[in-house]
Structure 1
């Protein structure tokens, strides 16, 4: 069995907005959701800015008592998943529940819960640690809670591949539907990493931008980039077999057609020079989609705004696409929302799908000073109206994880 898979619903919680429409409109307008960090004391860290979710109230999406049993990243996942299911007009009845799965990942899971409960144990004694500590902290609980909240009884899985998490989750869910395991899978990623311990860890690794200006700190592919800006949020899709979507008359945003997943087998945190793993991931996705490089109209880059990632990803695109790489617009939406770690691929999948649906390319903002090692068309500073039939999204993660997903404009063939 090799079924066609389509996207019928989308939900998002991002630094630009707490729904897809607001997030997308602000992104296309060239706005930034990055601001001075408030969830940690900026005086204690070299990094001063972050992409935080402002005024998020979990009670808008779930019972107050249930929300207290969830880490912030899980609350984001539940909110975005409920939005996506509502958007898909999907009624998960007892009849279809066993064929509806959930595949949502998180790069580092419940860091706020970990930090809070560790402090409680140290200050008040270990007997005071919450009995919900472990089920609130573990990364799979976003998927678990979404399954419980929505009554989805199919596959319930969690991919953890650092910053490639969401793209691997969506790709793995795509394959599960394609081969007939489930008819619908709610998939993507969620992250809430802006707490002292993770902020300190990335600061010690010198990975975060120390630019104190919130509006220019995240500047992918720009010569003056100096690190990524940490963000938080969730991006969730409803993936569905074409037969299921047609049977219930669902609207279809796009078709999922290709998936690639590879490993660098090179270094714990550094990108392999030349990006061979990313090249193979993109080539694998193209082969899976039965497409040629010239078929791709837009690439949503991993584009972290770090010294190592951006030129290596640029080189990887040039290797995978040859001379045609110079004809393909490549943008990094992390310039507007920061790096959502394991949630990045979910949100960027939504941006890729919206580029197809709305025929517009999101910009790479803060692109002021060209870098000779980054010489592609990065859609600088302003969105661009352009027809998009095929969009490719890349995600790369610590540990050498590379993931690529390809979306195509849906056609009833």
Structure 2
């Protein structure tokens, strides 16, 4: 039951999702499968002072999702998302009562932590920025927790009764892949048998919008919010901010089999690289992403020609889409032209650290359902982006091997391979 590198094999046996367009895996997949978009004009606050007014918000009712008034008061929206997603993932897997606490761990990813609550509370303690010396007496008693993303991991560990490895991975927009990879390694290395792993971000707030406005990374297509996110399209002009969470139950193969668990996919390999030279710049040849892809495929014991589908980073910035296209050509060779590629950011926006876990969820469901989600809003392909980006309409196709890739500020490049669970390894 070991992988090609001698480590123990890891199955994904439970999925939980909070996403734009709906809470829960069923609503998430329904939106993707039907190519609908959840981007709209921001409602969380008045976006009029900003360049970009567009985001993909979650229609999230914490009471309807089973949270108490005390939990709602205590937890930032990011933690609320993570808790609700974890509950669904654990119920989906049937893991409750089946795992040894000391052999169960939690790893969560986030790019921005409790940004929305910190933004709100700073406005309170500083009297909307009027006071340089803030008065902490006006802050909520949970303010310290908002400074520490690890407080979210602690809440999930208590929920899951996990007494094994617990921690946070924060590598910007690649966090959602990196955290699943790290959790997989802990199982493969024998540190745990079960890991609750995923990512959460709820950073649609004035400070976040202002930061992305400053570098013109987000779309100013304010008059067409439903079609504002246009990955690989000639008319694209930036990403739409998003929010959400996806959490998984990962299990060692033997542990899952002994309890008769149903598996969506196997986490077969992952890798990460960095360009080590720029916070936001990307090389035109996509070298670092290509290397991450090549190593992830190799770690899975596969060849480039084995990849059936690529879930793209597809952020809808000109720099990223061309960089990613070059990376796929460099890593997959001629097979890149035969491989379906799509970006779900066209439908649910870019939820920063959380998006890659949502994309891992999409890959697992693509394998499970034999249906490739489309790239919405792709009407005028960029001639420099000349791969098969599955425009507008989902495609029925068996997928045994899915590759998901990510690119993040700081020069981070990550890739992860999911395979059909019954697929044999040589």
C-alpha contact (below 8 Å) 1:73/1:190 kept by paired residues: yes
- 3-state SS, counterpart of residue 60 of structure 1: coil
Alignment of 1:247-258 (within 5 A): 247-258=258-269
Distance in structure 1 (CA, Å) of the matches to 2:255 and 2:389: 37
Give 2:193's match in structure 1, choosing from 176, 183, 202. 183
The aligned residue for residue 197 of structure 1 is 207
Relative to structure 1, the CA distance from residue 156 to residue 59 in structure 2 (aligned partners, 3 Å threshold; closer, same or farther) is: farther
C-alpha contact (below 8 Å) 2:21/2:59 kept by paired residues: no
- Note the alpha carbon deviations across 1:254-298, whole angstroms, 9 max, x for none: 111011111111201122222211011101101100110000000
- 3-state SS, counterpart of residue 140 of structure 2: coil
Alignment of 1:283-302 (within 5 A): 283-302=294-313
C-alpha contact (below 8 Å) 1:194/1:230 kept by paired residues: yes
Residue 390 in structure 1 maps to residue 393 in structure 2: no
Q: What is the aligned length?
A: 412
Distance in structure 1 (CA, Å) of the matches to 2:330 and 2:63: 44
Distance in structure 1 (CA, Å) of the matches to 2:32 and 2:282: 27
Alignment of 1:364-383 (within 5 A): 364-383=375-394
Residue 109 in structure 1 maps to residue 120 in structure 2: no
The aligned residue for residue 247 of structure 2 is 236
The aligned residue for residue 357 of structure 1 is 368
- TM-score, normalized by length of structure 1? 0.97
Residue 57 in structure 1 maps to residue 66 in structure 2: no
Alignment of 1:21-170 (within 5 A): 21-58=26-63, 60-92=65-97, 96-123=100-127, 125-170=135-180
Q: CA deviation at 1:372?
A: 1.3
Q: CA deviation at 1:137?
A: 3.6
Distance in structure 2 (CA, Å) of the matches to 1:106 and 1:196: 18
- TM-score, normalized by length of structure 2? 0.94
Distance in structure 2 (CA, Å) of the matches to 1:60 and 1:166: 23
C-alpha contact (below 8 Å) 2:23/2:60 kept by paired residues: no
Worse overlay, 249-258 or 116-125: 116-125
Residue 336 in structure 1 maps to residue 340 in structure 2: no
- Note the alpha carbon deviations across 1:12-57, whole angstroms, 9 max, x for none: 0000210011110121111111111111212111112110011422
CA RMSD of aligned residues (A): 1.4
Relative to structure 1, the CA distance from residue 92 to residue 402 in structure 2 (aligned partners, 3 Å threshold; closer, same or farther) is: farther
Distance in structure 1 (CA, Å) of the matches to 2:280 and 2:421: 37
Residue 14 in structure 1 maps to residue 19 in structure 2: yes
The aligned residue for residue 274 of structure 1 is 285
Q: CA deviation at 1:92?
A: 4.0
Residue 217 in structure 1 maps to residue 228 in structure 2: yes
C-alpha contact (below 8 Å) 2:340/2:388 kept by paired residues: yes
Distance in structure 2 (CA, Å) of the matches to 1:195 and 1:404: 29
Structure 1 residue runs of 4 or more that deviate by more than 6 Å after TM superposition = none
Distance in structure 1 (CA, Å) of the matches to 2:63 and 2:236: 35
- 3-state SS, counterpart of residue 329 of structure 2: helix
C-alpha contact (below 8 Å) 1:142/1:190 kept by paired residues: no
Distance in structure 1 (CA, Å) of the matches to 2:410 and 2:284: 14
C-alpha contact (below 8 Å) 2:62/2:72 kept by paired residues: no
Gaps of at least 5 residues in structure 2 are: 1-5, 128-133
C-alpha contact (below 8 Å) 1:102/1:187 kept by paired residues: yes
Gaps of at least 5 residues in structure 1 are: none
C-alpha contact (below 8 Å) 1:109/1:191 kept by paired residues: yes
Worse overlay, 29-38 or 162-171: 29-38
- 3-state SS, counterpart of residue 189 of structure 1: strand
Relative to structure 1, the CA distance from residue 140 to residue 275 in structure 2 (aligned partners, 3 Å threshold; closer, same or farther) is: farther
Residue 347 in structure 1 maps to residue 352 in structure 2: no
Distance in structure 1 (CA, Å) of the matches to 2:60 and 2:116: 17
Distance in structure 2 (CA, Å) of the matches to 1:408 and 1:15: 26
- Note the alpha carbon deviations across 1:144-193, whole angstroms, 9 max, x for none: 21112221111111100000001000001111101111001011100001
C-alpha contact (below 8 Å) 1:254/1:357 kept by paired residues: yes
